[in-house]
Amino acid sequence: MQKSLHINAAKCTGCLQCEMACSYENHGLFNPAKSRIKVFDFEHEGRKVPYTCTQCAEAWCLNACPVDAIRVDAVTGAKVVNVATCVGCKVCTIACPFGTINYVADLGKVQKCDLCGGDPACAAACPTGAITYVDADWTGLDKMRAWAGKTDTATRASA
């Protein structure tokens, strides 16, 4: 069975350990700007929501790439950018409706979550279990959106 990242925003404290782990895993340095996962701060609601590529079944990024630089990893099911093939045209960044593909200026290429080959560094680094790597049937983008849209912060305190 395929696995995917499950994000439970109710458990996120905004510590950014996921961003640090991701940037270190993929670039060898602690730099949140180079992370493939981001923690969005819903400041007015008092909530933090980690987000990254949802590995869409019908990946618009993959279909939009003019040089076929994005392929499906046979083991993880992740849509992976082949850096050697990527020409840095950014068409995939425009095609992605979630904004989870980023252009890395110093490389002249794009990057997106590749699930770290099946052992996501962000999930391993998350101290609260807000990010876990589970059977794909248990994840849900709709749940993440619903949580982010809540405005009653008293509900969060009791969760």
- The structural domains of the chain, ordered by start, are 1-51+115-151 (3.30.70.20), 53-112 (3.30.70.20)
The CA-CA-CA angle for residues 79, 93, 103, to 5°, reads 95
Whether 71 and 80 have beta carbons less than 8 Å apart is answered as yes
Cα 98 off chain centre by: 10
**pTM, to two decimals:** 0.81
- pLDDT tens over the chain, length 159 residues: 688 899 999 999 999 999 999 999 999 999 999 999 999 999 888 899 999 999 998 999 999 999 999 999 999 999 999 999 999 999 999 999 999 999 999 999 999 999 999 999 999 999 999 999 998 765 555 555 565 667 655 544 544
Whole-number Cα distances in Å, 155 to 45, 54, 93, 151, 152: 11, 26, 35, 9, 6
